[in-house]
């Protein structure tokens, strides 16, 4: 994958919705760290949950409506959550 093609640390951004996927990407050498954005907007405690052993998949549906609010000068929040 991408990391094997470059000589610098590679951060994977986007599409990581589960603890298992994040760990696999790092363990298999496809990325150094992984980045989460939208899942943390919807669930700010997601990483803490994972650290505590609750390895549920992120409930973010990747609709990006949270980011649209920024363009409207509204607070960043998950609109899909209601």
What does pTM read for this prediction? 0.81
**Structural domain boundaries, residue 21:** 2-71
> Cα–Cα distances in Å, from 33 out to 1, 12, 64?
15, 7, 22
Q: What is the pLDDT of residues 3-62, one digit of tens each?
A: 677 888 889 998 999 999 999 999 998 899 999 999 999 999 999 999 999 999 999 999
Residue 78 resides in a domain: no
Structural domains in the chain (count):
1
Task: Quickly state the pLDDT bin for 70 (edges 50, 70, 90).
Answer: confident
Domain presence at residue 11: yes
The answer to whether residue 64 sits within a structural domain is: yes
Q: pLDDT higher for 61 or 2? A: 61
pLDDT in the model for residue 3: 67
What distance in Å separates the CA atoms of residue 76 and residue 66, rounded to the nearest whole number?
6
* DSSP states of 48-72: HHHHTT--PPP------HHHHHHHT
Residue 77: inside a domain: no
Question: Is 37 within the bounds of a domain?
Answer: yes
Half-sphere exposure of 14 (CA within 13 A, CB side): 2
Say if residue 31 is exposed, middle or buried (CB neighbours under 10 Å; 0-12, 13-18, 19+).
Answer: buried
31 in a structural domain: yes
Confidence class for position 82, pLDDT limits 50, 70, 90: low
Classify residue 76: in a domain, yes or no.
no
Residue 20 has what pLDDT?
A: 96
């Amino acid at each position: 994958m991408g990391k094997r093609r470059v000589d610098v640390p590679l951060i994977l951004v986007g599409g990581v919705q589960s603890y298992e996927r994040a760990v696999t990407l790092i363990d298999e050498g496809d990325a150094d760290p992984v980045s989460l954005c939208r899942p943390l907007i919807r669930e700010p405690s997601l990483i803490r949950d994972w650290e505590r052993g609750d390895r549920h998949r992120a409930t973010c549906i990747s609709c990006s409506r949270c980011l649209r609010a920024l363009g409207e000068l509204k607070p960043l929040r998950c609109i899909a959550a209601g």
